[in-house]
Amino acid sequence: ITSIETSSAKEIDGVIGVWTANDIDMPPQLGFAMYPPVFSRPLLATDKVRFVGDIIAVVVAETASIAADAAAEIWMDFEPLPVITDPEEALAENAPILFEEHGSNVCFETGIEHEGDDPTEGSDHIAEVKMVSQRIAGVPIEANGIVAIPEDGKLTTWMPTQSPHAFREGLAPLLGLEEENLHIIAPAVGGGFGPKAAMPAEYIATSILAMQLQRPLKWTELRSENMVANGHGRASVLTGKMGFDNEGKITSFDAQAIFDAGAYPGIGGFLAFYTQLMIQGVYEIPKLRFHALSVATNTTTTVAYRGAGRPEATQLLERLMDVAADELNIDPVEIRRKNLLAADAFPLTTLGGMNYDSGEYALALDRALEESGYEDLLAQQQERRGDGNSKQLGIGVATYVECTAPTGLHVEYGAVEIHEDGTASATVGTSAHGQGHLTAFSMIISEILGIDMEKVRLIQSDTEQVPRGAGTMGSRSLQTAGSAIHIASETVLEKAKTLAAHLLEASADDITIGGGGLHVAGVPANVVSWADLAKASNDDEKRPEGMEPGLTHELDFDGTDATFPFGAHVAVVEVDVETGGVELLRHIAVDDCGKILNPLIVTGQQHGGIAQGAAQALYEGVFYDEEGNPLTGNLMDYAIPSSAELPSFETFNTETPTPRNPLGAKGIGESGTIGSTPSIHNAVINAVSHLGVKHIDMPLTPERVWQAIQSAEG
């Protein structure tokens, strides 16, 4: 940046102010605590801009249209700098350095050590693959936005966030406020998927200016702004060598990953660590080495996106299994079956350092094969290959394990209270944005207390009504907040039984649920309603001596560790070898999320997850030109499928309870995404493997598939 001209913008009627980095003190933000401070992002660009989407100025005006007119009058003179958009090129010796004082583009490094040079040395066969898990955009139905209202030294904000309490903790110090003076409300969040767990720079700038101007401010994002400024996902290059014996048993695994953290590295760069944790997957692997680097590039910052580091591990593993099956002439199912961890192996500490709780991986695979009619599909495939049909059938298999409520996220706040009108409230530290939390938590309360689900109110996503909470990410809500609600309900029930026994002059052991309240077993007509119990609990004359007032209980449930859902997916595709066109004909998913509370919610999560996984495999990708300009900056250029492009998925479940919470529940929110992408990826390559195609990088567009076929045919 050589200069920024704002004088014309300031002269427009209705403009309240225009600020650049020279006009206002907005402290730079470090995207992740483990990074060197040099990677901090100035909220308003100072000496340089590092990606398309960096902010150079802020306009405040009476209306959005006036603000837009003023923004159009702002001009920047600049000198072009060298550009780096490829994470591999960011590691080159002569690569442009985004933060010169750091000396390199590497912001994070992690790995699993192995004695010796190469763990695969001496293996009978070595399968190798290098693949890209491409950069994708979150594309929530609702883009970002904030309303900030200052009053009496406090600030109240409305914003669509997955984690209101974390946002308060991070934002309050920047505003010079104590946390209790910053009120954050997330009333309805139109899709999160991970990107809305990261705080946009625009939220910080809006809040700072609202406090300085002492007037309400509103900022809302256009779709084109969301596509370049809101965090992206995936963006990694994965390389693997897997050793096998002649029978197809895994002997060793050597893997590397390069993660693109974007211009101002955030949690997206750290997700390489989650790939490391899950790199063993569902397989018995005797020897393992892993190394990962995360680098800064002149692109949008990457963040957590549905699966967040775990899909990358599965994508690499499952491609390697198919490569090995092809080279060893073993059926892809059989090579997996030979190497799956046995059901009696659990609990298990993996070479990646994860503590698997429970699993029956072969059971899920067998169910997926049965539901798909795998043998019939193989026969159909051979028939098409034999008659030279231009539309070849591809069958893809993937087995996976994933981690829910991961490191530090296995604790959550929950409370249950019975009110004097006979209703109940569930207060939780998680935040719903479409997952059915009200239904799930109401079911738990209704089952334990006998209160109609319609009489349960959910209190969430408001830092003044909920004392604390980690929010919603990592598919953790039911197993953490749901478990807290379960325990709180049981505790309230025991207290209510003691109270009812006192009122009915009976033993608490004889009190049972029924008739909208509690009664003595065998005497259902003499029931004390929940409304009367709540009133009595607040009446010193009716409450037993020593009992605390109120029918309420709160706690922070600690599951002690993550849980590990798993599953197997089978994808069936049709590939037109003359055009490269791909059609997903069927997708069969068997996902195990432990004990199922509500089958319909689980099915919905499976369908949504599979759709996002299919979208990465076949359609989506964020791309830049050589100068760092986005080529996919709106929904005309960025391809996401509608329901018309996808079949109705065939979803099933096995149930392997976890011992780590009273519900036996594991997460389901990300499983569909993790299982679907590699199975569809494998299916497309399987359809054309007989033509000599060994690998195609995602997204598997007709052009890429056609080019791979042409290259294989020479």
pLDDT score of 714: 77
pLDDT at residue 407 in the model: 81
Of the chain, the percentage scoring pLDDT greater than 90 comes to 96
- Asked if the model's pLDDT at residue 190 lies above 90, the reply is no
Give tens-digit pLDDT for 420-467: 999 999 999 999 988 999 999 999 999 999 999 999 999 999 999 999
Cβ of 121: how many Cβ atoms within 10 Å?
12
pLDDT given at position 191? 87
Higher pLDDT: 434 or 311? It is 311
Mean pLDDT of 385-402: 94
| pLDDT given for residue 582 in this prediction | 98
One-letter amino acid at 124 equals: D
Structural tokens at position 632: 């996919």
Mean per-residue pLDDT, 232-242: 98
CA–CA distance, 319 with 335 (Å, rounded to integer): 12
Say which residue the tokens 């090995």 belong to. 324
Q: 152: helix, coil or strand?
A: coil
Contact 21, 44 (CB under 8 A): yes
Rounded-to-integer distance, Cα 202 and Cα 196, Å: 13
Exposure of 77 by Cβ count < 10 A (0-12 exposed, 13-18 middle, 19+ buried)?
exposed
Asked if residue 8 lies in contact with residue 57, where contact means CB atoms within 8 angstroms, the answer is no
Whole-angstrom Cα distance, residue 583 to residue 97? 42
Average pLDDT, the chain: 96
* Number of residues written out for the chain: 714
